[in-house]
Chains A and B, each alone.
Chain A
Amino acid sequence: MKTLVIVEHNNESIKQTTYSTITAASKISDEAYALILGHNLSTAVDELKKSNHLKKIYFVDKEDLGKPIAENFCDEIIKFLKDKDFTHVFTPSSTFGKNLSPKIATELDVQQISDITNILDGHTFERPIYAGNAIAKVKSNDPIKVVTVRSTCFEPCKLDSNVDVENISSELSTNESVNFVNYDESKSDRPELTSAKIIISGGRGLQNGDNFKLLEGIADKLGAAMGASRAAVDAGFVPNDWQVGQTGKIVAPDLYIAVGISGAIQHIAGIKDSKFIVCINKDEEAPIFKFSDFGLVADLFEALPVLEKKLQ
């Protein structure tokens, strides 16, 4: 068995999700390879070279691949796979992977398996369904297993190797029917949600965007990432990429602090794998208490300034 990892990156650095996916690939066999597509990739490739578990890195560096347009990426990957004998193709289960991986599977006429959380053997996997309220054990009968990997369920690989790289040239033309227009990146100095050790999230209870400042002070002290419930995002308090949950980001920090969040199943789906969950909510009946290791029944507007001080 031989696995190809499709690398997620931003042309400069490698996303953490990739390193977790490499670990997942290493559980299939010790034949794990990586394919990175993009433009001006030299620093990204240098970084990737350090990954443990990889036999080799293939890269295609082309201006047309500078933006992750799924159609162009898919064409390159299918062309690459043609004369190879990979049995598994793993992509991180991020918006990048979810957009791309089902296309690869369809071109190969196989059924992709989404968002695996555990690998039982080369064709049997576990994946959550119903917002994580049930876990399905599934077996693929397809000759090639095309899979997206939930990165929070696999530790990132170590970075102390020096892997061989091979440049793949490509003359494929790009798809005319789809064009990149704009990327409005939400910039932050805080850690990324999906790889943060500590996260503090706010919900509708925060009442407005300004009040998220109450969480900022604490996040600064803890070096935490900041997140939100769907209600807080929908109300426009914070940007959409802060949303944690079934349809937002799946997180698994050591500590998750939920403030003014009721604990709807769709929110819980995104935080269940956190090591410790803390909540601050004024309603002691809120479902979030059932999932919290430590719950504090309090008005957040009184509690947060005190908590910030105590963390001094």
Chain B
Amino acid sequence: MKALVCVKRVIDYNVRIRVKTDKSGVEKDNVKMSMNPFDEIAVEEAVRLKEKGIVTEIVILSIGLESSQETIRTGLAMGGDRGILIKSPDEDIDPLNIGKIIKKVCDKENPDLIILGKQAIDDDCNQTGQILATLLKYPQATFASKVEKNTDDTLNVTREVDGGLETIKVKIPCVVTTDLRLNEPRYASLPNIMKAKQKKIDILDINELSLDLKKRVEILEVNDPPERKPGIVVPDIDSLVNKLKNEAKIL
């Protein structure tokens, strides 16, 4: 079984986000970038499936600036076999267009499993897996917290839904999106980081795909969120209860 893992380069989750003064977006210069944490979980899951002998090859795909190669290398150091970068001068690509690009890659690579994070922590859209599954007409198993291969060509996937846990059975080929509790991604060892440098990354220009990728949604401006007014530290529980009764009028 061949796995395609899609990874996105995003601002590291520990970085304090600053909105640009011209409201055009958020500050990305000299900011630490990392692989989207949910995609890390997707890479880890593919590697575990390979260690179990279920997956035979792992292809790591990223779409973005030249620098996204680093993100692909991270995936290769974790256990990916080879990489594909679709290079784009513009990072802000609508998820629908990302879906169309990944589909194009799938048409050539024919993966049995496409696995990716349920959302990217930059635009928080939570769409790409669902879009891709629809374009490919493959079943989708989103928000996965457990993935098990059955003896036939199906997966049982447990999904984190609002009211609890739902398990569905999907036929391969399929699309799986990962939730936080699926696994804990490994750190790449130094020897594996060195080995990853030798692994192949194919680079394609986005314009070579001959897709109509016109933008559907414009970002008019990006603003700071409304600030909460500063609160106070109360000295003891009596004053806390008192504040809740008399100021918040809740109790």
Contacts and interface: CB of A to CB of B under 8 A. Distances in A.
B232 A311 contact: no
Interface stretch (B55-63, B93-101, B189-197): B93-101
Given A139-B220, A272-B228, A95 B124 contact: no
A142 B222 CA distance: 21
Given A95-B160, A185-B164, A241-B160, A310 B216 contact: no
B214 to A, nearest CB: 9
Given A106-B134, A255-B250, A177 B225 contact: no
A246 B125 CA distance: 11
Interface in A1-41: 10
A297 B133 CA distance: 49
B237 A94 contact: no
A290 B227 CA distance: 11
Interface residues of A, number: 88
A111 B217 contact: yes
Contact of A234 (B159, B181, B223, B238): B181
B162 A128 contact: no
Interface string A197-226: 010000000000000000000000010000
A138 B219 CA distance: 4
Nearest to A186: B164
A176 B216 CA distance: 32
A11 to B, nearest CB: 13
Given A111-B96, A129-B123, A295-B231, A241 B225 contact: no
Nearest to A106: B134
Given A136-B222, A138-B220, A246-B121, A177 B126 contact: no
Nearest to B221: A137
Contact of B164 (A94, A142, A239): A239
B140 A70 contact: yes
A277 interface: yes
Contacts of A133: 16-17, 19, 26, 225
Given A141-B216, A294-B234, A307-B241, A130 B121 contact: yes
A88 interface: no
A240 B165 contact: yes
Nearest to B218: A139
B122 interface: yes
Nearest to B233: A295
Interface in A258-305: 265-266, 272, 275-278, 284, 289-298, 303
A165 interface: no
Interface of A is mostly: mixed
Interface residues of B, number: 76
A306 interface: yes
B240 A176 contact: no
Contact of B166 (A131, A182, A246): A182
B218 A246 contact: no
B134 A102 contact: yes
B180 A241 contact: no
B53 interface: no
Contacts of B123: 129, 136
Interface string B153-196: 00010011111111111110010000111000000000000000
B131 interface: yes
Contacts of B179: 247
A184 interface: yes
Contacts of B130: 70, 98-100, 102-103, 106
B34 interface: no
Nearest to B140: A70
Nearest to A221: B251
14 contacts: A95-B161, A99-B142, A112-B95, A112-B131, A130-B124, A133-B19, A133-B26, A133-B225, A179-B170, A184-B166, A233-B181, A265-B16, A291-B228, A295-B232
Interface of A: 10, 69-71, 74, 94-96, 98-100, 102-103, 105-107, 109-115, 124, 128-142, 175-186, 194, 198, 222, 230, 233-234, 239-241, 246-247, 249, 254-255, 265-266, 272, 275-278, 284, 289-298, 303, 306-307, 310-311
